[in-house]
Homo-oligomer: A and B are copies of this chain.
Amino acid sequence: MGNVIVGQSGGPTAVINASLAGVYKTAKDRGANKVYGMQNGIKGFIEGRYVDLSHHIRDNLDIELLRRTPSSFLGSCRYKLPSHHDNEEIFAQIFDKLKELEIECFLYIGGNDSMDSVMKLSRYAQDTGSNIRFVGVPKTIDNDLAITDHTPGFGSAAKYIGSVFKEIIRDGSVYGNGQINIVEIMGRNAGWLTAAASLARCEDCEGPDMIFLPETPFSIEGLYEKINSLYERNSKAIVIAVSEGIQLADGTYVCEYDSQSAKSTDAFGHKSLGGTASVLSGLVSEKFKRKTRSIELSILQRAAAHMQSRTDNAEAFLAGGQAVKAALSGMTGMTVVFERTSDDPYMIETALVEVEKIANVEKKVPDLWITENGSYVSKELTDYMRPLIQGELSQVMVDGLPRHLILNPQTLG
């Protein structure tokens, strides 16, 4: 067989390198001569930057370390290929290089934007009679890809969010002074990840008091009413989960609300220093005169390899491997998806679908799973997520910290 090339694209997840490991190991096991890695995705490849992965993944211990390494081992890009009708030159350049490297299979690990690249490359191959196969491996913490039951990366981010919510809820309760913690979670348009805060509601934890997803218009007055009713029930501490992307009924993002009201930018021309939680924290603290804190989980939620889900890691590896097998069997313009074949006990199967069905489509949380006038999520949604956070991957600890595999250790000081 010929050679294989793999790239990583879009925002990282805790398990995007498990998919890379799955691609590498499966390709090697099936006899690939060389497995190349594009640096910084298709953008870096166009610039001529790629590595022979066997120089960097030397043995099975390296594979285990790679599976435990956060962020994108090969670097990433946010780059959208043009249509090849608009700019054929760039495609000709890519394909010349692929031919030179004797590439037979091209695997691309990414979200819905990255699937757009897989689609365009496979179409160009079809149009030009190239027999290189292009297959996508899904990843995103946002869980917003169509068709697939869920995406690799989501389960680990959800496990992290469930865990830190338990810790935040315990921490918030210590003074019994009715303090309010507002926690901001990634997901501009889809609320899957914010919904993961509900996982913290379990035998030993009350869970967050409210959960606001971007799928439902957000009402500041509604928030005040709910806080009031919690205080009436003598609540000693309040924890609220908000998506970064929540909007008022008129379409204003909450994170822009405050600076609009202030009708000014500061001396440095910034529109707003704070995010959604910060704006809400300001409003709520003014209204209720209680200690209020905003907490942004920021990139910690996508980088927390130390709290990843073993289920998610195994599935991410599997998705990489299945993509290689599909490409070797002659499939192109496809991407791996998961079908849930049983809820209890949880089981999945993988399938391949045309990448057109996934590229550029966003899957949102269904209305049915949003409850309490948009301030919580249903048990069905929590039940859907629970299997995805099961199991842990013990970190390889060296001198007190998790060990990672990195591409260029020789560049370190």
The smallest beta-carbon distance between A154 and chain B, in angstroms, is 13
The answer to whether B262 and A258 touch across the interface, beta carbons within 8 angstroms, is: no
Q: Among A203, A207, A264, which residue has the most Cβ atoms of chain B within 10 A?
A: A203
The answer to whether A412 and B266 touch across the interface, beta carbons within 8 angstroms, is: no
Q: Among A202, A269, A398, A413, which residue has the most Cβ atoms of chain B within 10 A?
A: A202
Interface residues of A in 63-79 (CB under 8 A from B): 69-72, 75-78
The answer to whether B409 and A12 touch across the interface, beta carbons within 8 angstroms, is: no
Contacts of A266 in B (CB 8 A): 258-259, 261-262, 282
Mark the stretch among A117-125, A145-153, A171-179 that contacts chain B: A171-179
In the complex, which range does the number of interface residues on chain A fall in? 35 or more
Contacts of A201 in B (CB 8 A): 413
The answer to whether A167 and B71 touch across the interface, beta carbons within 8 angstroms, is: yes
Tell me the bound Cα distance from A268 to B78 in angstroms.
37
Contacts of A40 in B (CB 8 A): 174-176
For the complex, is A378 an interface residue (Cβ under 8 Å from B)? no
Contacts of A390 in B (CB 8 A): 399-400
Contacts of A323 in B (CB 8 A): none
Asked, given contacts A293-B299, A401-B199, whether A176 binds B75 with beta carbons under 8 Å apart, the answer is yes
For the complex, is A90 an interface residue (Cβ under 8 Å from B)? no
Tell me the bound Cα distance from A207 to B406 in angstroms.
13
Mark A276-318 against chain B: 1 for CB-CB distance below 8 A, else 0: 0011011100100000010110111011111101000000000
The answer to whether B403 and A204 touch across the interface, beta carbons within 8 angstroms, is: yes
Tell me the bound Cα distance from A12 to B176 in angstroms.
13
For the complex, is A248 an interface residue (Cβ under 8 Å from B)? no
For the complex, is A273 an interface residue (Cβ under 8 Å from B)? yes
Interchain Cβ contacts under 8 Å between A and B, 21 examples? A40-B175, A70-B170, A72-B174, A75-B173, A167-B300, A167-B303, A170-B404, A199-B400, A200-B401, A202-B399, A206-B411, A206-B412, A261-B266, A261-B267, A266-B282, A270-B286, A273-B273, A273-B279, A306-B307, A391-B400, A392-B397
A71-B171, A293-B298 are known; give 20 further A-B pairs, CB within 8 A. A69-B170, A70-B167, A70-B171, A75-B173, A75-B174, A162-B401, A163-B401, A164-B304, A168-B299, A199-B400, A199-B401, A200-B401, A202-B401, A204-B403, A258-B273, A262-B268, A269-B286, A274-B278, A389-B400, A389-B401
